[in-house]
Amino acid sequence: MAFRKDLWTLLSVEPRSVSSLARQLGLTRGDAEDDLQHALRSARAAGHHVVIIPARCRTCGFTFGEGKLSKPSRCPACRSARLYEAQIRIEPPTRA
C-alpha cells in the first residue's frame, strides 16, 4: 500500500510515463505498469481525477487510446517507431 501511495505522490507532482516511473523506482516497465494500473483504480475510487495524455506518433500524429499506458512499439497508421509515450497525472479530488 505504501508503494502505491508513492506512485500517487510522484504522479501528483507532474505527468509521468510508465518508463520514467520504472526507472525512478527500479522496476521493469511491466511491473511498473501493473502497479500503476492498480494505483489508478484506487485513485479513481478515492475520488481523485486521473489525467492521461495518450501516446502519440511523432511522425504522423496518430493518437493511441487512453488505455494504452506503456509505449507502443509502432504506429499502426504509418509504422513509425518514433512515438511519444503516454503521460499520466493524478489530481486531487475536486470540492463542490
Q: pLDDT for 45-66, tens place per residue? A: 988 899 999 999 999 999 999 8
Range of the domain at 6: 2-91
Three-state secondary-structure class, residue 54? coil
70, three cell numbers: 506503456
- Give pTM, 2 decimals: 0.82
Residue 58 has what DSSP assignment?
Answer: T
Residue 76 domain-assigned? yes
Residue 88 has what DSSP assignment?
Answer: E
Residue 37 domain-assigned? yes
Q: What is the mean pLDDT of the chain?
A: 87
Residue 75, domain CATH = 1.10.10
Residue 71 domain-assigned? yes
**Number of domains within the chain:** 1
Residue 96 domain-assigned? no
96, three cell numbers: 463542490
